[in-house]
Amino acid sequence: MADLHEIVAWADEWLSLRTIADYPNALNGLQIENSGSVRKIACAVDCSTGALEAAAQSGADLLIVHHGIFWSGLKPISGSLARKLRMALQNNIALYSAHLPLDLHEEIGNNALLIRALGIEDSEPFFEERGSLLGRAANAEMPIAELVKRLRNAVGGEIKSFLAGPPVTRRIGLITGGAGGEIERIAREGVDTFITGEAPHWAAVAARELGVNLLLGGHYATETFGIKGLAQKLAEKFRLEWEFVDLPTGL
């Protein structure tokens, strides 16, 4: 058993939570408090009723998520929000959320873990967002067919590929989640192959115009890496069990 506030203080500092700017509704950090003790950690990409139910069934009393309970903004405590709060409070589940600080963390961040899963060890931070370098980029020559195969294996499912760039990559950029709309900025940074989770329709058209390979691994699938990395790190640090709640959205 571990103290909730010791876990939170350690995670806040390790993730540099207070120094990394984020979207207002991210509300990074402890979002719901429990009685103060933690025996088991559950983690999920999103705070949903299903994630809280699974955490309760597994005996977890701390749920760590990438998208927190207030992601949709300020609204009355009714409907699904009331249901989720009731589920957390009745089952003594604390909720901790980390968004951009988890995306860009150099050890267990979504971008760092995914690019390493592609077999690329030497990468660097790139693409400024809200004062931080959010993604990872690498000078890597690889047949695009091989990169597509590696991405499919890394995310464990089908991907979408728009191959308008070189058949052998030179500069790969990666930003997990929904960064496809940034393809024009990405191209200006010298990237010829861009990997992200999802993109708007027009980004596929822009990829052809820009001569950039665009690979979409799924918003959900590309953001499972960091949350599992954080839960494992905390479990090892505080000698706790942990479990991943897998609730894919299909996007």
pLDDT, tens only, 159-168:
999 999 999 9
pLDDT, tens only, 170-215:
999 999 999 999 999 999 999 999 999 999 999 999 999 999 999 9
pLDDT, tens only, 81-115:
999 999 999 999 999 999 999 999 999 999 999 99
- Give the pTM: 0.95
Alpha-carbon Rg for the chain, nearest whole angstrom, is: 19
Residues 159 and 198: their CA atoms lie apart, in Å, by 10
Residues 244 and 19: their CA atoms lie apart, in Å, by 27
Whether 241 contacts 235, CB under 8 Å? yes
Q: Which two tokens stand for residue 174?
A: 């990666």
Residues 79 and 81: their CA atoms lie apart, in Å, by 6
Q: What is the model's pLDDT at position 246?
A: 97
3-state secondary structure of 107: coil
Residues 235 and 154: their CA atoms lie apart, in Å, by 23
Residues 160 and 152: their CA atoms lie apart, in Å, by 9
pLDDT, tens only, 36-65:
999 999 999 999 999 999 999 999 999 999
Query: Which has the closest alpha carbon to 193: 208, 173, 207?
Result: 173
pLDDT, tens only, 2-25:
999 999 999 999 999 999 999 989
